[in-house]
A and B are shown apart, each in its own frame.
Chain A
């Protein structure tokens, strides 16, 4: 089995950095020979390239609009595409749209798991908001647990 790949999505700004922060924490928790961690800033339609040759992929991203700030959402596989909007353009391809495109062309990894952390309105700040700061630990733990689960499946095989 190839490595588990963790992809943190976001930017260096405000609560949008939640995915990056969690990914950075995971990098310290696992052997780099077993878990490959990378962070991306709006990869758009290029996102599927980052899971090429990976069967096990965890996406970590800040999300908005489906719950209260700090809530953790988990989606697996093609279910992520449920949130895709129509009218794709080169400037607004988000995670759901990239997953929808990849699914349509048969380019999804065997296991794809999205953990989303609900944030509020983006702020031009270098810091997380107190609510998201509080939620970062359970968000990271949820990601750690999923990676550990997949690694144990790998070991059993």
Chain B
């Protein structure tokens, strides 16, 4: 009986630390552990005693790639605690903001992280040398997402314009018009991107876990909706803690989230699978052209889900801007009060849930809780990797390592930066 230990010791990056350990005994995976050390945990403590006004800017610092998601979940949760209702115009601006983040984050992931795996390149620079048009298209779409983020957030990294109740400043007519022209010019790029992702040769695997996402009454979910699963869950954000439990595991400082005691799956594929009937008509047409039977249980189809969401975000941003009328009031009045508010929004990587408690009317945060998508996906990713090892138990260590790394990257966890540097130690006995 041969025994193999595949070990990834320590990965240290600013945005996250990860490690992978696999112990194979003959035909069995005796142990598999994905370690993730999530910086957002510290923010929950940092926020205690801070004013409600500081929260959106503080949580934007949790992630350089998806600050809008953190801001949006925070402002919705605090508005729920204070009983604040925003105007339809502010709601549209928030969707526009989210469109920018999906475009920016998804474009980065598809072209810089995932594509090299699917096309056999070590990284995006090598890929770009042989396929400059593909990477150039990705950079254009990512740049447009950034432009939306800069317009809405004041700057693309760590934006500062979102606040509880709306925005400090809304775009003026000229800014909106300039953005609209550029977005219209990119529709063909987004359509081509979907077709290109559908043409990729992707591993053909199936994974089984409940898809969990938001679901809105009549639109593709970003900022609002009920939390649903492919197995019938249908709850409000306020009920989330009664169904999802976070557990500490010995090998990770990140908590593993379980839905009714089992791993579950969040992210663009889960979101798409749960909301196929919420796609706008033009994006739905592209979906049918992929030739895939949806809903899909192949995690590698996430790359298509991301491309479809880029198309959806781009066309929705165009629609919002075409109907945009600058308002003198970029935010509504907010009066803090004692209370607790919960909200979930759809970060590029999946559902992001926040809860804020205010024990007094002063508006100082008493307690905060943040459950990011990477933490929610962690148990499911481990199950996926375990299945991958079983399916390819006869592969050599290098091939197996490459597939496991691609498998981790495919979920776009915040440790993506680290997973490119996995150094596996293999022990055979």
- Chain A interface (Cβ < 8 Å from any Cβ of B): 41-46, 48-49, 81, 84, 86-93, 97, 100-101, 104-107
Contacts and interface: CB of A to CB of B under 8 A. Distances in A.
Given A49-B143, A89-B420, 19 more contacts: A42-B64, A43-B156, A44-B157, A45-B108, A46-B143, A86-B122, A89-B112, A89-B417, A90-B112, A90-B417, A91-B13, A92-B15, A93-B112, A101-B128, A101-B135, A104-B125, A104-B129, A104-B135, A106-B136
Interface in B363-405: none
Contact of B146 (A49, A91, A105): A49
B65 A88 contact: no
A105 B64 contact: no
A152 B244 CA distance: 66
A91 B122 contact: no
Contacts of B306: none
18 contacts: A43-B156, A44-B157, A46-B142, A46-B156, A87-B122, A87-B123, A87-B420, A91-B16, A92-B13, A93-B112, A101-B124, A101-B139, A104-B128, A104-B129, A104-B135, A105-B132, A105-B136, A105-B139
Contact of A89 (B113, B125, B129): B113
B179 to A, nearest CB: 14
B105 A90 contact: yes
Interface string B397-429: 000000000000000001011111100000000
B15 A91 contact: yes
B139 A107 contact: yes
Contacts of B136: 105-107
Nearest to B414: A91
A33 B125 CA distance: 35
A7 to B, nearest CB: 14
Contacts of A88: 112-113, 123-125, 420
Nearest to B158: A41
Closest 7 A-B residue pairs measured CB to CB? Answer: A89-B417, A104-B128, A87-B420, A91-B417, A91-B15, A105-B132, A90-B108
Given A104-B125, A104-B128, A105-B128, A90 B139 contact: no
A1 B129 CA distance: 29
Contacts of B416: 89-91
Nearest to B134: A105
A105 to B, nearest CB: 4
Interface string B118-161: 00001111101100100110010011001000000001111000
Nearest to A93: B112
Q: Is the interface of A mostly helix, strand, loop or mixed?
A: loop
Contacts of B158: 41
A17 B213 CA distance: 41
A31 to B, nearest CB: 25
Contact of A86 (B14, B123, B135): B123
B293 to A, nearest CB: 30
A100 B127 CA distance: 11
Contacts of A92: 13-15, 417
A22 to B, nearest CB: 20
A43 B125 contact: no
A88 B157 CA distance: 18
Nearest to B108: A90
Contact of B113 (A90, A104, A107): A90
A101 B125 contact: yes
B109 interface: yes
Contacts of A105: 128, 132, 135-136, 139
B422 to A, nearest CB: 9
A53 to B, nearest CB: 13
B104 to A, nearest CB: 8
B132 A104 contact: yes
A59 to B, nearest CB: 17
A47 to B, nearest CB: 10
A87 B108 CA distance: 13
B420 to A, nearest CB: 3
Contacts of A42: 64, 157
B110 to A, nearest CB: 11
A48 B113 CA distance: 18
Contacts of B105: 90
Nearest to B125: A100
Nearest to A89: B417
A65 to B, nearest CB: 16
Contacts of A91: 13-16, 64-65, 414, 416-417
A49 B419 CA distance: 27
B94 to A, nearest CB: 22
Nearest to A97: B125
A107 to B, nearest CB: 7
Contacts of B129: 104
Nearest to A102: B139
Contacts of B155: 41
Contacts of B417: 89-92
B210 to A, nearest CB: 27
Nearest to B136: A105
